[in-house]
Amino acid sequence: MTVESSRRLPVLLLSLVGGVLLVALLAAVMIGPVDLRPSAVFLEIFDHLPLVDVDSGLDARQAAIVWELRLPRAVLGALVGATLAVAGAAYQGVFRNPLADPYLLGVAAGAGLGATIAIVAVGSGSVLVPIAAFVGAVLAVVATYGLGSAGGGRRTGTTLILAGVAVAAFLTAAQTFVQQRHAETIREVYAWILGRLGTTGWGDVALMAPYAAISIVVIVLHRRLLDVLAVGEDEARTLGVRPERVRTAVVIAATLGTAGAVAASGLIGFVGIVVPHTIRLLVGSSYRAIVPMTVLGGAAFLVLADLVARTALSPSEIPIGVVTAFVGGPFFVVILRTSRRGAQ
């Protein structure tokens, strides 16, 4: 009897995905146009740990490439990937809809409009950009929620998705309008929208970290309650849970995380769908296992995607959103096919 194993976290798989994330981070730091010895990179990072002082043998320029360019970018990718993926899993859980993701509900479009207005008004470097993105994201969720329950009908998964599509279309139109009216910032806005991971040192990481931390921590803590919601609102109530309270907390956390991710890295698509569903095929449908796996898996996925984005056509870069869809789509199909075959 293996009852124990299904309740506990899938420790083996978690360490496996954690290992993949570590390898991805190391690869992201080592691979690039400037060749650096892996051992030297190791020592250089090691040197930055508190109380550690070793000589990596890298000169100042090489050390800066490791410490100011590659490492912050990899860490940002991990934070954004983890956040988008776990937000996707959270939305799928609270809305009980496998198609829910941060973008389908209009959250990212709202964040996009907010960020575009901020870029047009005060420039892309301003701290107002993530704040505006967050406000836009929250307004989008509120609008989707309101529309989804308008008309006195029940707020089913389908009406919510439809409402999200409408809200996203409207906000994207508004965003395009603002963008076209301000030709002087169109390049900044475009670069932002296509999704990119910043190369401006630790600033973006510092910007993103609190959003990522709050949303990941809150969603991880709610993972058992996401399972309770899986039996529907009425039954959740008979189990002593207030579904509205869980949904509000999780939606706020996921919205906050998505807003931060979009503000820091633009609209990187597909992560919130492909990662949770791949994880689901590996560990089953319990969010007790899905949520922590998705955090690590999303981080690893985006770090690897960014590695492809900047090396595949080196020296030019492919927008990372293109890579996530281009690589993630077929990968997802393969996973889906093999797992279906395995189940039969």
Q: Which residues of 237-270 are buried (b: 16+ CB within 10 A; e: fewer)?
A: eeeebebeebbebbbebbbbbbbbbbbbbbbbbb
Neighbour tally for 67: CB within 10 Å: 19
Neighbour tally for 163: CB within 10 Å: 21
**232 contributes a contact to another protein by CB under 8 A:** yes
Burial class from Cβ neighbours inside 10 Å (0-12, 13-18, 19+) for residue 52 reads exposed
Binding to another protein (CB under 8 A) within 243-282 occurs at: 280
In the bound state with another protein, the residue whose beta carbon lies nearer, of 44 and 227, is 227
The nearest distance, CB 98 to another protein, in angstroms, is 10
Nearest to 269 by CA among 292, 311, 302: 302
For residues 171 and 192, what is the distance between their CA atoms, to the nearest angstrom? 16
**151 contributes a contact to another protein by CB under 8 A:** no
CA quadruple 319, 320, 325, 329: dihedral sign: positive
Residues counted in the chain: 344
For residues 9 and 265, what is the distance between their CA atoms, to the nearest angstrom? 31
**242 contributes a contact to another protein by CB under 8 A:** yes
In the bound state with another protein, the residue whose beta carbon lies nearer, of 223 and 310, is 223
The nearest distance, CB 99 to another protein, in angstroms, is 16
Query: CB under 8 Å to 96, separation ≥6 — which residues?
Result: 157, 229, 230, 232
**344 contributes a contact to another protein by CB under 8 A:** no
Q: Would you give the binding string for another protein spanning residues 6-45, x where CB under 8 A is met?
A: xx--------------------------------------
Indicate which single residue of 237, 313, 330, 334 sits in contact with another protein (rule: CB under 8 A). 237
Count of residues in contact with another protein, rule CB under 8 A: 29
The nearest distance, CB 156 to another protein, in angstroms, is 13
Indicate which single residue of 288, 295, 320, 327 sits in contact with another protein (rule: CB under 8 A). 288
**234 contributes a contact to another protein by CB under 8 A:** yes
Indicate which single residue of 70, 73, 222, 277 sits in contact with another protein (rule: CB under 8 A). 222
In the bound state with another protein, the residue whose beta carbon lies nearer, of 126 and 338, is 338
**2 contributes a contact to another protein by CB under 8 A:** yes
Binding-site ranges for another protein (CB under 8 A): 1-7, 221-222, 224-225, 227-228, 230-232, 234-235, 237-242, 280, 284-286, 288
